[in-house]
Amino acid sequence: MVISGAERIWGRVLKTIVATAYVFMLAPIAVVVIAAFNDAELMVFPPTTWSLRWFRELPQAHDFIVSFKLSAWLGLATAVVSTVLGSLAAYGLVRHGRRRQAGVETLLLAPLYVPRVLIGMALLLSLSLVAMAGTFSGMLIAHVLITVPFVIRTVTASLHGVDPAVEEAARVLGATWRQAFMLVTLPLVRSGVIAGAVFAFVISFTDVYLAIFLSGPTTITLPLRIFNFLEWEQTPIVAAISSVQLLFIVVVILLAEKAVGLSTAGRI
């Protein structure tokens, strides 16, 4: 296959655009990470002196540690609940909901299209009526609401790549619906399920919009703690904890990629 000069030029232009987009998206993250190694009392970029001072002080930052643990547990619980509900919803849509699939799918994916601030206000009013505002359970419900659509999308994409005849063959051979789903279908869509779980965890772990409305005195998540801290102080410790948060997310994604290969989920 012969590539013309115009195609080479167009290919270089596309590569340049992609590279520029990557730099544009990653530059703010790089600035925060670099600022975490500043030895000064205030955040300065670029750092005048380099030091691990603020990373060494993290173990003494009790409030940040408590919020980090809360966000991690909340993200894990959200990932588990959202993955179960989203996977079952996706299976029902793809295998048994073809007549009303469009309407039901639009309803289930509605949280993707509603501004997070409006969702937070609505949940605050609703959860206050049942005394769940400011509780871990209330925040879990809120995070599940906004993360289930991502699980539905990834699992739905995976299910569309699985031939229904495979399940039917298992049923013909004597498997129950539950056995066919657990032993045949679920392993085939594992990459989509894991990808949805990772999306749910990351979104929950980094959410600040719902936390502004729903957090209580004992349920201040890490993103909200950072947000509140920046209103009054500008020490680089906030850059250090943000770097640790970023590293934690990267580790989770890399472990999931190593386990099932998340890139395969995107090619389904």
pLDDT digits (tens, 9 = 90+) for 177-203: 777 777 877 788 888 888 889 989 999
Asked which of 17-21, 38-42, 73-77 is least confident by mean pLDDT, the reply is 38-42
**Rounded to the nearest 10 degrees, what angle do helices 190-206 and 62-96 cross at?**
140
Domains identified in the chain and CATH numbers = 62-266 (1.10.3720.10)
The least confident of 45-59, 90-104, 159-173 is: 90-104
What would the mean pLDDT of 6-16 be, rounded to a whole number?
78
CB atoms within 10 A of CB 182: 12
Tell me, yes or no, if the pTM score tops 0.85.
no
131 burial level (CB within 10 Å; 0-12, 13-18, 19+): exposed
Q: Do residues 203 and 150 make contact, with C-beta atoms less than 8 angstroms apart?
A: yes
Q: Say yes or no to pLDDT of 3 above 70.
A: no
pLDDT-based confidence at residue 147 (cuts at 50, 70, 90): very high
Tally of residues, the chain: 268
